[in-house]
Amino acid sequence: MISLQKQLVIIGDSSVYGWGDNEGGGWCERLRKDWSKNQNGPVIYQLGVRGDGIEKVSSRWEKEWSSRGETRRNKPKAILLSVGLNDTATIGQKNGRHQMDIDGFEYGLERLINEMKSQTNVFVIGLTPVNESKMPFAGCLWYSNDFCNSYERRMEEVCLNQNVPFLTTFREMYSDKRSKNWITHDGIHLNSEGHFWIFQRLKSWEILTKWKES
């Protein structure tokens, strides 16, 4: 009898989609390929949508997650959440209003994690740096590293309070002098080297590895 492999749903924005990585398809795809080397390892489903923020992910996660259990009675055993960068952007000018202000973002993340936790295991990954000299993105959105840092710290606090594993990424990547070369010309998306860095961080994340092998 063939046993069903457990599933990990990775949901979020263009980072999950793999935008910018023309070599490996993104950190998510790199992780999927790495895990697929073990025929009995978890199956990864990538559910990234360009431009998504906390509100859009909150509105779609449950339907998408629940439909990927592969059998009628089964549901994926875990979710890896990667969202928040788009919420940090200000509209129209550097000091404009955020797409989602930081308090609203924190509240939305708390609610989202609560909903997810009631259904499955949850892991959360942080944000990535931007190239501020390339702003505004798409002619109207201003991203900044100060805001990325502030939003990631709120994410970390929420996960700590919710007892959910959180992988910090912004501070570690930003402090690496090479990281300026890991961002595409649009100023916000990682290139292949940046996606590889995230993949390596996830591959060595002990708590995710333990879940994978359990």
For residue 98, being part of any structural domain is answered with yes
For residue 2, being part of any structural domain is answered with no
The H or E element that residue 191 is part of is: none
* Confidence tier at 2 by pLDDT (50, 70, 90): low
Cis preceding linkage at 165, omega within 30? no
Q: Where residue 96 sits, what CATH number does that domain have?
A: 3.40.50.1110
Residues 75/119, Cβ–Cβ less than 8 Å: yes
Q: What is the pLDDT, as a whole number, of residue 71?
A: 81
* Confidence tier at 69 by pLDDT (50, 70, 90): confident
For residue 213, being part of any structural domain is answered with no
Who contacts 114 (Cβ-Cβ below 8 Å, separation ≥6)?
162
Whats the size of the chain, residue-wise? 214
Say yes or no to pLDDT of 14 above 70.
Answer: yes
Q: What is the pLDDT, as a whole number, of residue 39?
A: 85
Reduced to 3 states (helix: H, G, I; strand: E, B; else coil), residue 213 is helix
For residue 82, being part of any structural domain is answered with yes
Q: Encoding tokens for residue 12?
A: 């979020």
The domain of 158 spans 7-205
For residue 212, being part of any structural domain is answered with no
Mean pLDDT in residue range 19-36: 97
DSSP 98: B
* Confidence tier at 1 by pLDDT (50, 70, 90): very low
- CA separation for the pair 127, 130 (Å, rounded): 10
pLDDT tens digits along 125-159: 999 999 999 999 999 999 999 999 999 999 999 99
Who contacts 51 (Cβ-Cβ below 8 Å, separation ≥6)?
13, 14, 86
Number of domains in the chain: 1
For residue 67, being part of any structural domain is answered with yes
- CA separation for the pair 136, 99 (Å, rounded): 14
141: phi then psi, degrees, rounded to nearest 5: -115, 130
pLDDT tens digits along 84-141: 999 999 999 999 999 999 999 999 999 999 999 999 999 999 999 999 999 999 999 9
For residue 214, being part of any structural domain is answered with no
